[in-house]
Amino acid sequence: MKVLIVGLAITVLYAGFLVFQADHNRFIIKQEELKALANECSGAAAIYYEKNAYKDGYKVFDISEGNKAIGFLIRENLKLDEEFNPLGGAYWVDTIDYYVHYYDDSGLMSAYHRDSLTETGSFSYGDLYVDPVEDYMKVISEPTVIVTIIAGRPRYRLTFLEAFEITAARSSAYEYVSRD
């Protein structure tokens, strides 16, 4: 009887380990997908620029179109509703948050939380950007779009893991490199 109880205990423990390992592997994959999405968002926002300024040799981003592109990509790729809440079948549990910083030849930095302007200010090339979420650092030397996506908690099947602060956030920057 002792062997049966020990055998069942080991089987339950092993099953829990397998479930955790599968969930954690999926979390790692989803983090990489989140990084790829941040790359896509920053690149997509950088595609939109003001044509008149570009005609004069300046790279100035069309921020409203860039923000639309970022919002669309995040909602579609992460299966979210219009308020960035997960739909059925979505991997992430929490409401998705994101921040965007635009640095361009206008000499102005514009920071957005989703579609809302949170900060503007002047900058000069050579300034250091430090991401408040990821501690991501980048020297701004060219027109740049930086996107930070905060996905929050992942789906783990073992409910006692909810007590731990497991969250995901990824940042990415896209910059125009001059070809002098």
What pLDDT sits at residue 65? 95
Contact present, 13 and 124 (Cβ < 8 Å): no
Predicted TM-score of the model (pTM): 0.86
- Look at residue 180 and tell me if it is in a domain: no
Alpha helices in 48-139 (DSSP H): 51-55, 63-78
Q: Report how many domains make up the chain.
A: 1
- Look at residue 6 and tell me if it is in a domain: yes
Residue 40's domain comprises: 2-175
What pLDDT sits at residue 134? 81
Contact present, 177 and 143 (Cβ < 8 Å): no
Q: pLDDT (tens digit, 9 = 90+) per residue, 114-132?
A: 989 999 999 999 999 998 8
Select the highest-mean-pLDDT range: 37-51, 127-141, 153-167: 37-51
- Look at residue 87 and tell me if it is in a domain: yes
Contact present, 67 and 112 (Cβ < 8 Å): yes
- Look at residue 10 and tell me if it is in a domain: yes
- Look at residue 171 and tell me if it is in a domain: yes
Span 83-91, average pLDDT: 90
Residue 99, strand partner residues: 113, 148
Please give the single-letter amino acid code of residue 20.
Answer: F
- Look at residue 136 and tell me if it is in a domain: yes
